Amino acid sequence: MLCTLLIGLPQISAAAKNGQSPQTKEQISVGDSYIGPAACQGCHPDKYAGFIQTAHHITSRLADAHSIAGDFAAQAAFMWTRNDDLWFEMSARADGFYQTANIMGKDNKLHEHSERMEIVTGSGKIGQTYLYWKGNRLYQLPISYWAASGKWINSPGFPDGQAVFDRPVGPRCMECHATYFETESYERNVYGQEEFILGISCERCHGPGAQHAQFQVDAPDGAGAPHITHPGDLSRQRSIEICAQCHSGAGIKHGRPFTYRPGLPLAEYIEPEPHDTQNRIGVHSNNQVARLSLSACFQQSDDLTCASCHNPHAPERGDRTLFSSRCLDCHSAEACGMQPVLGHAIVDNCIDCHMPERQDKKTGVQSARGMDFPVMPEHLIGIYPDATQRFMARRAADN
């Protein structure tokens, strides 16, 4: 059974040569003993089946008709700017999907600049942004998809009314949008194009899996599961650091990208942001670990970790009743001050009152109509009277 895991594994390869976009390629190993999530499926079919439905799995993908959320039909394919001489068009062509900047020059002639969407980043809950290869360098495209409006919009940080195609995508970005990239530069956007694994998959939390899988092939009846990291077996600090590599702000990278391994001290690889910066809400991470650590729930527990509330192997996003049931593992519904008002219904939604959604004013995206801001859930668990008032108002309106 396990032999199929190591022989002929489908891995993702990139070849920007001759203008080709990344394609699926048969090869045995990727990078430093990485083998990709498909290799885990044979022994862990249930976890694999759940994991591939999660946001982590789709936080980066090859760009195609299935992965791109934006609309390419008629007028929906255009994005207008406040600059009357610049507009963008998104188009589906025989060889892929493109973004084109149409610029009316001072010579009164229309000039075009087109690039192909080759990698999709973002799960789509807030939106998606798109990357393209130029040689072995990776760049971000100027137009993103914004889920709240269902429309195209300027990519985060891109100024409205300008056609910018040269923003480099650095390794720290890809460390939180991919499982592995072969890097050829410490700082910039140079990557090896033969070996990478898109999505945040098994090996980002459990470590490279080739040695573990080979052991199972060589000794299928052997006891235990060596050469792999089980986050549940780690100390609380080491366990949450696995999540903190991407969910505590960008931080300052030490050493070569993609060298952190689960179970090792994260501080040796990433220096956290200053405390005041780290504890601000931000679109990329919401700084969940930093803010959770300030919560009484965390400080009064010896074993609360991210996995106490989140199952990384299951698609649970948005299921407030499920998450609330995990609150009730420690808290009594009767102890909540709103229990006399809500009665038994209180068990269905702890989240909107105690972890309310807030706009991220730090990270906005520009459009011709102004600024749009993403909405992120608060991970500093607490009592928020304003959130309770909004929740009760919505509930009254629904009843």
pLDDT at 280: 55
Indicate whether 15 pLDDT > 60. Answer: no
Indicate whether 14 pLDDT > 50. Answer: no
* Domain range list for the chain: 1-57+170-226, 74-168
pLDDT at 364: 74
What is the identity of the amino acid at 195?
E
pLDDT at 210: 94
- pLDDT tens, 287-325? 788 889 999 999 999 999 999 999 999 999 999 999 999
Indicate whether 2 pLDDT > 70. Answer: no
Distance CA 163, CA 158 (A): 9
Indicate whether 350 pLDDT > 50. Answer: yes
Locate 112 and state its tokens.
């075009």
Indicate whether 1 pLDDT > 60. Answer: no
Query: 344 or 383: which carries more pLDDT confidence?
Result: 383
Confidence class of residue 7 from pLDDT cuts 50, 70 and 90? very low
Question: Residue range 358-383: average pLDDT?
Answer: 82
Question: Residue range 106-131: average pLDDT?
Answer: 96
Print the SS3 string covering the chain: CCHHHHCCCEEEECCCHHHCCCEEEECCCECCCECCHHHHCCCCHHHHHHHCCCCCCCCEEECCCCCCCCCCCHHHHEEECCCCCEEEEEEEECCEEEEEEEEECCCCCEEEEEEEECEEECCCCCEEEEEEEECCEEEECCEEEECCCCEEEECCCCCCCCCCCCEECCHHHHHCCEEEEEECCCCCCEEEEEEEEEECCHHHHHCCCHHHHHHHHHCCCCCCCCCCCCHHHCCHHHHHHHHHHHHCCCCEECCCCCCCCCCCCHHHCEECCCHHHHCCCCCCCCCHHHHHCCCHHHHCCCCCCHHHCCCCCCCCCCCHHHHHHHHCCCCCHHHCCCHHHHHHHHHHCCHHHHCCEEECCCCCEEECCEEECCEEECCCCCCCHHHHHHHHHHHHHHC
Mean pLDDT of the chain: 85
Question: Residue range 184-212: average pLDDT?
Answer: 89
Question: Residue range 249-262: average pLDDT?
Answer: 81
Locate 342 and state its tokens.
């809500």
pTM of the complete model: 0.87
pLDDT at 287: 78
Confidence class of residue 10 from pLDDT cuts 50, 70 and 90? very low
Question: Residue range 320-339: average pLDDT?
Answer: 93
pLDDT at 141: 98
Confidence class of residue 22 from pLDDT cuts 50, 70 and 90? very low
Confidence class of residue 8 from pLDDT cuts 50, 70 and 90? very low
Confidence class of residue 273 from pLDDT cuts 50, 70 and 90? low
Looking at 6-20, 74-88, 255-269, 283-297, which range is the least confident one?
Answer: 6-20
pLDDT at 32: 55
Distance CA 342, CA 358 (A): 24
Looking at 7-16, 221-230, 329-338, 372-381, which range is the least confident one?
Answer: 7-16
pLDDT at 399: 74
Confidence class of residue 284 from pLDDT cuts 50, 70 and 90? low
Indicate whether 72 pLDDT > 80. Answer: yes
Question: Residue range 168-185: average pLDDT?
Answer: 90
Indicate whether 6 pLDDT > 60. Answer: no
